[in-house]
Chain A
Amino acid sequence: MDAFAQGLLEILKGWGVSDAWLPDTVTTGLILKAIFAVVVVLAIMGCCLYTVLLERKTAAWAQGRVGPSITTMPLIAAIPLVGKVLTYCGFIQPLADGGKLFMRQEPLPEHVNKFYYCLAPCLALAPAIITMVMIPFTSYINPETGEETALMLCNMNPGFVFMFAISSLGVYGVVLGGWASNSKYPFLGSIRGSAQMISYELSLVLAILPVVLITAGTSDNPLSLFSIVQGQGGFWNIILAPLSAVIYFVALLAEMNRQPFDMPESETDTVGGFHTEYGTFKFGLFFTGEYLHMILGSILFVMFFLGGWHALPFMPTLGLDGVLGTLLGIVCLVVKVIFMLFVIIWIRWTVPRFRFDQVMRIGWKLLLPFAIANAVAYFVFFGIYETLLK
């Protein structure tokens, strides 16, 4: 049984589950991991739905409207007061939205390349789900030994580099979707989208190098997200590497195809962008993939720059350990991620989209040089620091 399954086991025992239920075997470890994986996927898919709600609500607020506020269900409406509040918050709206997508007739246009047309939405969604296994959601500190275990499915050595590699496969969903649609607007949208996603990936990864350098001082595996977060027990990286944070955030917006960089689906000039020809469930997959990317992007930003599941700078756990500390970690992570999502949505409803030439100019002439200069500056600084001051 590996450290993660061991950690899960200890958490469950901490909750008071008796030892008879949890024999200390490899099978138990596997089962626990499987359950954890299912829970994580379900939770993040649920978050997707509610991110859409957050988007709709924020859009409404930014435009002086109320947003979804009357959709309800008999059972929920019956709860006094709470039911009213939930209805007003649009709590049921995501379910209604999803249900609508499921219940529509599923069109398959005549002129498309059927195989790739059906493959594209899956390709858009799958990488986003796969990368979830690499995310440490929080840590468990053993109260007796003080040892920290990450709550993550697989703590691979390449860490976030692997994550970036997988999540950039998402661009195939865009490319194939636009190409298989055999129609000019989706095609234009997907060409632009892929050009944009590929150009911003460079700055995205370069912006992380300083963070890795900072982490290298405290850990022997600075690529792992877990060590990156653990390295932020003192100052958060946003204070140590503010320029990186800004560059990373801008590149992230472009990677997620969010305004002001939503080239692949700019409604004004390419109708619906690469998914113009998609409807119902397949469109739903694209849509979910997009929001999953948004959530993953926010989680990564929080991990890299906002101290992950740490509550406050210099007070990572507020003195809590064991199960309580784990819960506090999850709550902190969720709060920070919701904040990041809100900021991303807020930007969307504030700024218009860039022209395509502007997108390319910003990417290659502005962001990339800054990212390189930033990385080099940190290299030089750490080089001098390591050789001269130590």
Chain B
Amino acid sequence: MATQNIKVITRKPLRWWEKLYIPQVLAGMKITLGIMLRKPVTLKYPFERPVIPKGYRGVPTLVKDQNGREKCVSCQLCEFVCPPKAIRITPGEIDPESGNEHIEKAPAEFEINMLRCIYCGMCQEVCPEAAIVLQGEYSLNGYSRSGMINDKKKLYELGGTIPDPVRKWDKKKRA
């Protein structure tokens, strides 16, 4: 105790008017009255949406690059890393006619079970292609369990496009 920086303060006995409680209650009422006269701070949620800060970790989504190519190469790293096993990937071949055949693989089906997802962001961290990103969407609801499983189409719809500054696959194709 002695070495710690602790100061023991003795509690002063209440004075007679403090024992009546009434002055204190009146002072408290003055404070609450002040708050009553202020503008409320409520955000009327379903009608007004909060501003989502940059880098917010909302629902995980899949993204495309500036050429509309799906970034995911179906390496399944995210599936392995996902702690609650929310991701299910069925790898597939890329159509040889599409011009992206050198990438070899893309997911045939990609499902994220949003009832399992814990929004940890591990998938985003592990993805070598920056293909899976937790974005601003935060309000998620459905009428059934199956409705809470986001399939590939939904994931791309939610994800949209994030341009790829490196363009390694273009370089590889030229090489």
Q: Are B32 and A366 in contact (CB under 8 A)?
A: no
> Is B31 located at the chain interface by the 8 A CB criterion?
yes
**Contacting residues of chain A (8-60) with chain B, CB-CB under 8 angstroms:** 58, 60
Complex Cα–Cα for A346 and B26 (A):
11
Count class of interface residues, chain B = 10 to 19
Binds B, one of A73-81, A220-228, A347-355: A347-355
Given contacts A64-B42, A65-B41, A66-B42, contact A246 B29 (CB under 8 A): no
Q: Are A350 and B40 in contact (CB under 8 A)?
A: no
List of B residues within 8 angstroms of A64 by Cβ: 35, 38, 40-42
Q: Kindly provide the distance from the CB of A312 to the nearest chain B CB, expressed in whole angstroms.
A: 24
Complex Cα–Cα for A66 and B48 (A):
14
Q: Are A350 and B29 in contact (CB under 8 A)?
A: yes
In the complex, residue of chain B having the shortest beta-carbon distance to the beta carbon of A62: B32
Complex Cα–Cα for A346 and B32 (A):
8
Complex Cα–Cα for A366 and B18 (A):
12
> Is A63 located at the chain interface by the 8 A CB criterion?
yes
Q: Kindly provide the distance from the CB of B108 to the nearest chain A CB, expressed in whole angstroms.
A: 45
List of A residues within 8 angstroms of B140 by Cβ: none
Q: Kindly provide the distance from the CB of A186 to the nearest chain B CB, expressed in whole angstroms.
A: 28
**Contacting residues of chain B (1-52) with chain A, CB-CB under 8 angstroms:** 19-22, 25, 28-29, 31-33, 35-36, 38, 40-42, 44
Q: Which of A62, A65, A349, A351 contacts B25 (CB 8 A)?
A: A351
List of A residues within 8 angstroms of B21 by Cβ: 362
**Contacting residues of chain A (327-346) with chain B, CB-CB under 8 angstroms:** 346
Residues of chain A at interface, number, CB under 8 A: 19
List of A residues within 8 angstroms of B25 by Cβ: 260, 347, 350-351
Q: Which of B22, B33, B40 contacts A65 (CB 8 A)?
A: B40
Q: Kindly provide the distance from the CB of B142 to the nearest chain A CB, expressed in whole angstroms.
A: 24
Q: Are A60 and B40 in contact (CB under 8 A)?
A: yes
> Is A379 located at the chain interface by the 8 A CB criterion?
no
In the complex, residue of chain A having the shortest beta-carbon distance to the beta carbon of B24: A351
> Is A314 located at the chain interface by the 8 A CB criterion?
no
Given contacts A64-B42, A65-B42, contact A349 B32 (CB under 8 A): yes
Q: Kindly provide the distance from the CB of A196 to the nearest chain B CB, expressed in whole angstroms.
A: 16
List of A residues within 8 angstroms of B22 by Cβ: 246
Q: Are B29 and A346 in contact (CB under 8 A)?
A: yes
Complex Cα–Cα for A385 and B48 (A):
68
List of B residues within 8 angstroms of A102 by Cβ: none
Q: Are B28 and A350 in contact (CB under 8 A)?
A: yes
> Is A61 located at the chain interface by the 8 A CB criterion?
yes
Q: Are B19 and A347 in contact (CB under 8 A)?
A: no
List of A residues within 8 angstroms of B40 by Cβ: 60-61, 64-66
Complex Cα–Cα for A64 and B22 (A):
24
Given contacts A347-B25, A351-B28, contact A366 B35 (CB under 8 A): no
Q: Are A366 and B20 in contact (CB under 8 A)?
A: yes
Q: Kindly provide the distance from the CB of A17 to the nearest chain B CB, expressed in whole angstroms.
A: 44
Q: Kindly provide the distance from the CB of A369 to the nearest chain B CB, expressed in whole angstroms.
A: 12
Q: Are B32 and A66 in contact (CB under 8 A)?
A: no
Complex Cα–Cα for A65 and B45 (A):
12
Q: Kindly provide the distance from the CB of A70 to the nearest chain B CB, expressed in whole angstroms.
A: 8
Complex Cα–Cα for A69 and B48 (A):
14
Q: Which of A62, A70, A351, A366 contacts B36 (CB 8 A)?
A: A62
Complex Cα–Cα for A246 and B23 (A):
12
Q: Are A366 and B19 in contact (CB under 8 A)?
A: yes
Q: Kindly provide the distance from the CB of A68 to the nearest chain B CB, expressed in whole angstroms.
A: 12
Given contacts A246-B22, A350-B25, A362-B21, contact A61 B41 (CB under 8 A): no
User: Could you say which of A64, A69, A246, A362 has the most chain B C-beta atoms within 10 Å of its C-beta?
Assistant: A64
List of B residues within 8 angstroms of A346 by Cβ: 29, 32-33, 36
List of B residues within 8 angstroms of A65 by Cβ: 40-42
Q: Kindly provide the distance from the CB of B75 to the nearest chain A CB, expressed in whole angstroms.
A: 48
In the complex, residue of chain B having the shortest beta-carbon distance to the beta carbon of A343: B29
Complex Cα–Cα for A366 and B42 (A):
41
List of A residues within 8 angstroms of B44 by Cβ: 66, 69-70
User: What are 17 A-B pairs at a CB distance below 8 A?
Assistant: A61-B35, A61-B40, A62-B32, A64-B38, A64-B41, A66-B40, A66-B44, A346-B32, A347-B29, A349-B32, A350-B28, A350-B31, A350-B32, A351-B25, A351-B28, A362-B21, A366-B20
- Please report B residues at the A interface, Cβ cutoff 8 Å: 19-22, 25, 28-29, 31-33, 35-36, 38, 40-42, 44
Q: Which 7 A-B pairs have the closest CB atoms?
A: A61-B36, A350-B28, A62-B32, A350-B32, A64-B41, A66-B42, A66-B40
List 9 additional contacts besides A61-B40, A69-B44, A346-B36; criterion CB under 8 Å: A61-B35, A64-B35, A64-B40, A64-B42, A65-B41, A66-B42, A347-B29, A350-B29, A351-B28
